[in-house]
Structure 1
């Protein structure tokens, strides 16, 4: 596998990392959810500052990032899997995740991964999930498009994809 070099650093393959995580069999998030998260976050070997002003690397990883340190596929995979499992735990605890259909669960994991559990856990969306009002909960995604008080076009696109995934398969 070759790495492409961009003006912002060396990127890695989201598809390769998804394949490794899926083969590990430890996450519940389905392939569509992993693709949504991975494609929205992208994959970068070198640390960068995300739109929220946080030092980030890999696929949206903000834990233990060291400026100037380039990561391998194995390190990126380990970080991402840990972060996905943390988001899944948040959804299980605060959105009755074990009762959610796979697509709704995976969409909820995506927003928990992106917004962070402390911000999303008391949200109307998670309250609706807990109450079993899945369709109403799915309609909450478009509300989560702000960062630093501004609407970010990337979040608008991501939230619509999360909403669509969440609603897919519901009767």
Structure 2
């Protein structure tokens, strides 16, 4: 009897590989630092094939939800989708939360939550109000409050928000 082994080839999607592609090919297009990208990427993880997130939205790559097709994506495609999503979150922060004046760590944390929650929800948030008034510490302390998806507290969001909060508060002593 012969043993037949079926070899399945699939592209491995690695957050660090995607971040490397972004930093090499797109760093001049975004302000978010490597540290900010790592928080987003590690919280979202990376998948080459579409899946449904906890909010039941078809997602691929590192949390990309725009125009997702049922197929396998290459790392370059994932990096391009992700950079478009990062730019969209940055634009929201710049237009609605005084983004150009934010210290880097505050900007990164704010882009991360905006990437995750969406601009529509963040525009009217208490966090954005604090950012617009220059009360960065209060804004950073709002992050842990956003830990639910579809009304349920998710451990992954609790962990992500604490990492965002830590990053957000990082530069405040030297900034003030």
Q: TM-score with structure 2 length normalisation?
A: 0.90
Where in structure 1 are there 5+ consecutive unaligned residues?
A: none
Q: Is the contact made by 1:145 and 1:155 (CA closer than 8 Å) also made in structure 2?
A: yes
Report the equivalent of 1:134. Answer: 136
Superposition RMSD on alpha carbons, in Å? 1.3
Report the equivalent of 1:21. Answer: 22
Secondary structure of the corresponding residue to residue 66 of structure 1? coil
Does 2:26 correspond to 1:32?
no
Return the offset for 1:10: 6.2
Q: 2: CA distance between counterparts of 1:62 and 1:166? A: 25
Structure with higher Rg: it is 2
Q: 2: CA distance between counterparts of 1:114 and 1:142? A: 13
Secondary structure of the corresponding residue to residue 35 of structure 2? helix
String of CA shifts for 1:53-75, please: whole Å, max 9, x gaps.
100001000001112x0000111
Structure with bigger helix share is: 2
Report the equivalent of 2:156. Answer: 154
Secondary structure of the corresponding residue to residue 21 of structure 2? helix
Where in structure 2 are there 5+ consecutive unaligned residues?
A: 1-7
